[in-house]
Amino acid sequence: MESTDVVKALAALAQASRLEVFRALVVAGEAGLTPGALSESLGVAANTLSFHLKELVHADLITQERNGRNLIYRAQFDHMNAVLAYLTQNCCQGQACLTDAAPACPC
């Protein structure tokens, strides 16, 4: 992963509403959510939500899929995991880290 991709992802998440949207999509998992469901659950106006979704898509953190008349948004787990791996690849002074952290998400 290139550092420019990581910067783009972190910049997209460095805004409270976008962070909430991303977290909601992570919770939704592979089923994803429609803009209407996101707007209702987060209390964000549709036009504002559209802007935030566009920014998250541009940062490759979420995907957009048309399903009939609906758009379905899903978190890009592979991309987010790559960002986290980039951030932690040299942890523990370059040695393999043994932690009791939570197991990896099975998503």
Total residues belonging to the chain: 107
Task: Give residue 21's domain range.
Answer: 3-88
Q: Which two tokens stand for residue 47?
A: 């036009």
Quote the percentage of the chain above a pLDDT of 70: 87
**Domain membership flag for residue 105:** no
- Count how many domains the chain has: 1
SS3 (DSSP) at 98: coil
Cβ atoms within 10 Å, residue 2 = 8
E-only strand ranges, 1-107: 62-67, 70-75
Tens place of pLDDT for every residue, the chain, 107 residues?
Answer: 899 999 999 999 999 999 999 999 999 999 999 999 999 999 999 999 999 999 999 999 999 999 999 999 999 999 999 999 998 887 777 666 665 555 565 55
The CATH code of the domain that includes 45 is 1.10.10.10
Instruction: Name the strand (E) or helix (H) holding 104.
Output: none
Total-model pTM? 0.83
